[in-house]
Structures are given as structure tokens and as C-alpha cells.
Chains A and B, each alone.
Chain A
Amino acid sequence: MSAKKADAKPNVSAEELMGHYREMLLIRRFEEKAGQLYGMGLIGGFCHLYIGQEAVVVGLEAAAEEGDKRVTSYRDHGHMLACGMDPKGVMAELTGRTGGYSKGKGGSMHMFSKEKHFYGGHGIVAAQVPLGAGLAFADKYLGNGRVTFAYFGDGAANQGQVYETYNMAELWDLPVVFVIENNQYAMGMSVKRSTKSPSLWERGAAYGIPGEEVDGMDVLAVKAAGERAVAHCRSGKGPYILEVKTYRYRGHSMSDPAKYRTREEVQKMKDERDPIDQVRDMLLTGKHASEDDLKAIDKEIKAIVNDAAEFSKTSPEPDLSELWTDIYADQ
């Protein structure tokens, strides 16, 4: 199935496909490791894994340019890895150590990197949506040609502040791509149980914002849609909405018993639609890579993730004096 799709898509180099494969695999292995460390008590609190959704962020990052910004929710590990943040720093934040991106003070849900233009990791559902428009407001104000990706979930899409933001973003032609990561559930609430709107992206029409639905399990489709969205924003036409249809394999967080969907539903997605398997198939059937090539990548990724885990265990806990720093600027 996926092989045909690959044939249908011109202009995809083997190198690019390999890149997508590698990045998605890094996220998956990283998240599996995080789940394991959580089970061992090394990671505490809430921990929301991105497994299943890898193609969304990898596809969109492929459409971004250096200097573009991104902001997302608590389900943020994948976004950080995809925008080039160091797996060691991300994992060490998960374990609450000094080597973490927030020196251990933020945790899984609250990480930032000025260097990589990653504006967080936000724990309050939908709060990142106006923040994303605000980043775009600043870019437009400064005239720097940058675009912001504001990621949020299908559940977040029902929050009122999203629509206040849509209105102003279009009114002021802000260069922001609103990315709805529709993984079909908000905790245990399926999209069907939370809205009668047939589609989420079409709600933008009420404010004059164009958009489209995208197959979020197909990294190439995501990238192509991302390029259209970015071109729209960068040309000064204002915001664009992408509703990316995806799926999370694991529970909402580590403590979700996930009784609201069947094991078969999850298994079917894994078997038929897995974003990594799709690219793997393309690579193999297109003879862009051999089994051995892919094994070598697997091994390389495993080593990166193991290093990150090791670092996250050995990096020291923050000094107690850190409790009192970073509360005010110019302290």
C-alpha cells in the first residue's frame, strides 16, 4: 500500500526518505525509553508519549526553515527532538536533572530552547495557541519573515481561546500555522463525543482562514501540506490551518488505563498505518535501502537513546539553591 504511494510521489530522494525514517525512529525509541524510565520511577508526574504521531512533527519540520518557531502542548518530546534539540538534554529534563533543558525545573511538560526556537511545552490545554499567534505577531512586527507552528490537540480545539486567536490572527495576517494534531482522543474523550463539527479545520472558515486535512500517518503528505501552509504564511497572507489526522498508540499519559478504545483498534492502526513502517516499506521496495542499512540505522538510534538515558541517570540533581533562581529576571 505504502509502496504505491511512494511511487506516486515524485521528487523524493532516497536521502530524504532515510532522513525521515531516522528522525521518526529516534522519536519512537526515545519515547519507549522514557516509558521504561517512568516505570522505574526515574521520571515522575505526568509523561505524555508521542508514539504513533511521529510523522506529524517530522513532516512539518521538513517544511520549516532555519529560524522558524514552534510551540506545543505537554505532549512535546517529539517536537523537541524533531527541531534538533539534544536527546540528552530532553531526557535529563524528564528525570529532573541539571543537564535537562530547564535544569530539571520544568519536567516533561515544560521544556524550552531559545536556540532551537522551541517555545515550550505548555501544560494548560490550548494555552499555546494564542502564545503561538503572539510569536507570529512579534515576527510580523519585526519583519523577519519567520513562520510559527502552533501545535494543539483535537481536545484543545474546543477551547474558546483558540477562536479568539483565529479571529485576531486572520485580522492581523499573522504568519502562524495552526496545526491540529487530531489523534482522535482527548484523554478518554473521542472527537465524536466532544463536537458535532464534521471537521476541525473547517472552523477556520468562519474567520476567513484557509486550511486542509492531512494524512498524519504519511510523512510525505504532511511535509507537502506543511510546504503549502508555510508558503501561504510567508507570503504575508496570514494564518493557515492544518488538521493532521494521526493516532497515539499509548495511553494519554502513563497513568491512563485507556478503557475507552479497544485493543483491536490500536492494533489495527499499528499494523496498517504505522508511519515508520510506511517509510520503511518505501525504502525497501524502492530499493533505496537494504535490510542491513536499516538495521544499521536502528542500531545507531538505539545507541543515541541509550546515551541519552545514561546521561539522564548520571546528570546530578539540581543544587538546592536552584529553588530560588529564575523567579525574576535580573535577580
Chain B
Amino acid sequence: MAIEILMPALSPTMEEGTLAKWLVKEGDTVSSGDILAEIETDKATMEFEAVDEGVIGKILIAAGTEGVKVNTAIAVLLEDGEDASAAVASSAPAEAAAPAAAKAPAEAKGPVATSVPQSPDWAEGTKMKQMTVREALREGMSEEMRRDETVYLMGEEVGEYQGAYKISQGMLDEFGPKRVVDTPITEHGFAGIAVGSAMAGLRPIVEFMTFNFAMQAVDHIINSAAKTLYMSGGQMGAPMVFRGPNGAAARVGAQHSQDYTAWYMQIPGLKVVSPYSAADAKGLMKTAIRDNNPVIFLENEIMYGKSFDVPDVDDFTIPFGKAKIEREGTDVTIVSFSIGMTYALAAADKLAEDGISAEVINLRTIRPMDTETILASVRKTNRCVTVEEGWPQGSVGGFISGVIMQEAFDYLDAPVITLTGKDVPMPYAANLEKHALLTVDEVVDACKKVTYR
């Protein structure tokens, strides 16, 4: 029987890809392990191997086709003795071989963010260019490395591999191995080495492959980096950036899916930022590298491939401690950061349909936090909902709600609702993962609740 070769999923976050190149042609005999095609995923170009043996009967998707959805039939494989007519007969569209599971995590992440309205970060009429969060991070780091010889990047697979998530792609070529340093898998050790080098005058950027692995290094982040300036009576500190993807990716289970924002937010001596858009990513990155303190820079893997407008100017920075009102409104204030913003903004759209006007605040800096902007907004709307993927007890929202209660109690017309991820380790199963994460509907419901609708 002819077998349909389906477009494979080749990464945890891939939904579609480009069929870059066929390495076989119709009539070729292949056996399992042979490379059939090159496929570009959201992260890399991958070779796609045959699993079954047979003859390529028909190629259904031409080389160079972009946006081929996972599980689309791309070719037909004939078994011994079959002829091409079998191929034609069976080349009808593949029925959905993948279960809902395959798509669930993507849906759970909320809709893709689109453009951002006017901004305090750049003047009206500034020339803009589109780029992904990934490119923005890279550009921010590269610009600072060009500007300042003491800045270097260190971490696992940042160099020759071009970055586990391709953030540092091309940087080894440009800056060389002295400044783009591949480390063994020794987080505690290299974080300590980086802190020492910062104490001695360098400006390290430490990439954690993900922040889950920074737990191996957390002693140096807190005891060595955050406290040295204080303990030395101001003589020396650790001007450096610890960065990497934070929070849940897709289907990677409990040990690889955790939001650490609230953890680091607690530590005096650390600054903590978490960008949402590409403009945030670039502007905050440049500020982080220049800052004379240890900065925790929390990225999000799901956001890496999303595109946004970024000002096309020489030296674009975003100050720390300044939140951004991404959308103005009058009925309820939604405060969020990082990927949480995608839920917040999508909810605001939905609420608008029901005549509820939501103001959406993108925190960007978590510590020091721009509580003034939050309070001013709450004094206007009299209601607040906070949105984050982390856990409820000791959350960012819990802190915000405390501040509002102490500073704007009389302005509140409803208790603050602090929306978080569920109070459970992240499950692997697709349906459970979806329920562990926030949804846009939860944000909408919370806003309706505080506005008594």
C-alpha cells in the first residue's frame, strides 16, 4: 500500500515550515534513515529522514514551498511493485493524522500579538522596521558588543551551535571565540566565573539555555552577584546580565516549564526585566547591558518568533522602571508582562466588543516596578486584574495587589483579581497543559467580574 509522507513536526513549537529542498526525486528508491528533504522550522534547517522503505512515487509539495502545515502529505512512497497510479489514488489530502494534542499548546498560548499603538519610547513618525523578538535580542546584544569591548557573551551552545534557540546566531562569526564563549554544562561554575569577571571590570552576558537551569547557579546570582555591592560598601559590584527563556514552552513538562519572575523579583540588588515585544526586547537589552547592576533578563521561547515594529534608529534604549500603557481604557486596568501581554491584549479586544474599555499596562521592568503608572491607572479605572503565567502564592500580581491596597484602597470598586497559572507543576499531557496555563477567557471573565458585568 502506498504510504503518505507527512510534513513532520521537528521542534516543540513548530506548526508549519518551509520545504526548502528535496534530496530525492520521483522514482528514487529510499530506505529508512535516508535523508529525504531539508525542512526549515521556526528555529533551524533540519534534515528529514525516511522511516519506511520504498520508491518515491510522487512529490506533492514542491521545493521552496513556505508555510506547509505539519501533517500535510508532502510525498507518496510506493512499496515494492506498486506503480504511480497507486500514488495518485492515495494523494488525496491526508486526513488529520494528528490529534488535537498537536495543536493544543499553540492555542493555549493565545493569539499572536500584532502591532503596538503610540509609545512613550519613540517619537511620532519615527521610522520603524519589523523584526522578531529573537532578532531584536540579537541586535541589542550585538550593538552593545560593538560599542563596548568589555561586553562578552557566555553560555552553553551560544557559539558554534549558534544558540540553542538561535538567539546568538552569527555572533561567534562577528565577535570571535574570545567574546562569544561556549561553556561546558556547568551552570554553577560559569555563573560564578562570570560574576568574578564582572567584579574585575568586564560586562558579561550570561545565557542560560533556559532559566530552569539557572537554578543550578542561583547561589551565585543571589549571593555573589546581587549582594556584593552592598557587602563591599559600594566598592565593587557585578554589572552583568543573566538572560534566557523563562516560563513554559510547549509540552516540555514540569522540570522545563517554570516562570521565575516572582522569585527574582524578591531580591534586593537585582534588577528584573521581562520584555513582551521586539521593541521591548531590544531597548531593554541595551539598557540591561549598560546598567551597573546584575540584571535578570527573562525572555519567553514562545515569543521568540513573533514579529513587531522596532524603531529604526541608531541607539534605541528603553529605560528601566518605566511601564508602558499598551492600550488606553477607562473601565478596568489589566497589568501584565512578557507572554502574559498576549492574553491581556486579546482579552481587551474581546472586552471592547462587550463595551468594556480595558487599559492594558505592560510592566517590562519587574524590579524596580513602575507602581506609579499602575496606581494612576487604577485611580482612573477603579479596578485591576493582573495576569501572569507563574504560580499564585507569592506572585507578581500578589505584590501589585498589595501595593494597590496600601496606596489606592479608597479608589477600588472591586477586589483586585490576580490571575496566574494553576497551582500545579506543569503536566505533560496536551489537554492538562492547556488547563494549567492561563486563557484569554479567564482574563475576560475576571475583568467582567471586577466590572460587575
Contact = CB atoms under 8 A, between A and B. Distances in A.
B11 A255 contact: yes
B145 interface: no
A46 B157 contact: no
A189 B98 CA distance: 33
Nearest to B249: A45
Contacts of B436: 323
Interface stretch (B112-120, B392-400, B419-427): B419-427
A107 B253 contact: yes
Contacts, number: 185
A323 B12 CA distance: 21
B187 to A, nearest CB: 8
Interface string B224-268: 000000000000000000000000011111111000000000000
Contacts of B102: 40-42, 44
B50 to A, nearest CB: 10
Given A187-B164, A320-B435, A107 B185 contact: no
A155 B256 CA distance: 18
Given A40-B71, A188-B160, A110 B428 contact: yes
Contacts of B161: 187-189, 259-260
A45 B169 CA distance: 22
Given A318-B429, A323-B432, A323-B436, A110 B254 contact: yes
Contacts of B430: 44, 96, 317
Contact of A41 (B47, B101, B189): B101
B156 interface: yes
B299 to A, nearest CB: 18
A272 interface: no
A62 interface: no
Contact of A122 (B6, B32, B184, B255): B255
Contacts of B157: 187-189
Contacts of A188: 157, 160-161
Contacts of A287: none
Contact of A44 (B101, B213, B422): B101
Q: How large is the interface on B (under 10, 10 to 19, 20 to 34, 35 or more residues)?
A: 35 or more
B188 A41 contact: no
Nearest to B212: A124
A123 B436 CA distance: 20
Nearest to B436: A323
Interface of A is mostly: loop
B123 interface: no
B255 A109 contact: yes
B12 A46 contact: yes
A148 interface: no
Given A40-B6, A46-B256, A96 B429 contact: yes
A324 interface: yes
Given A255-B11, A255-B46, A104 B428 contact: yes
A317 B101 contact: yes
A144 interface: no
B250 A40 contact: no
Given A188-B157, A320-B431, A257 B46 contact: yes
A155 B425 contact: no
Interface centre among A105, A155, A313 (most CB of B within 10 A): A105
A124 B71 contact: no
A39 interface: yes
Contact of A125 (B12, B99, B185): B185
Nearest to B103: A41
A97 B430 CA distance: 9
Contacts of B423: 327
B182 A124 contact: no
B422 A323 contact: yes
A186 interface: yes
B176 to A, nearest CB: 16
A270 B49 CA distance: 15
A207 interface: no
Contacts of A195: 184
Nearest to B189: A160
Contact of A257 (B44, B213, B250): B44
Nearest to A325: B424
Contacts of B186: 158-160
Given A106-B253, A189-B184, A318 B432 contact: yes
Interface stretch (A7-15, A17-25, A30-38, A221-229): A30-38
Contacts of A27: none
A150 B32 CA distance: 33
Interface in A228-274: 251, 254-255, 257-260, 263, 270
A193 B182 contact: yes
A93 B429 CA distance: 8
B250 A186 contact: no
Interface string A161-195: 00000000000000000000000001111000111
A269 to B, nearest CB: 12
B340 interface: no
Interface of B: 6, 8-12, 14, 32-33, 35, 41, 43-47, 51, 70-71, 97-99, 101-103, 105, 156-157, 160-161, 164, 182, 184-186, 188-189, 212-213, 215-216, 249-256, 422-425, 427-432, 435-436
Interface of A: 32, 35-36, 38-42, 44-46, 93, 95-97, 102, 104-110, 122-126, 155-156, 158-160, 186-189, 193-195, 251, 254-255, 257-260, 263, 270, 313, 317-318, 320, 322-324, 327
Given A108-B428, A320-B432, 12 more contacts: A32-B51, A41-B101, A41-B103, A96-B429, A104-B428, A124-B216, A126-B185, A159-B216, A187-B157, A255-B12, A255-B46, A324-B424
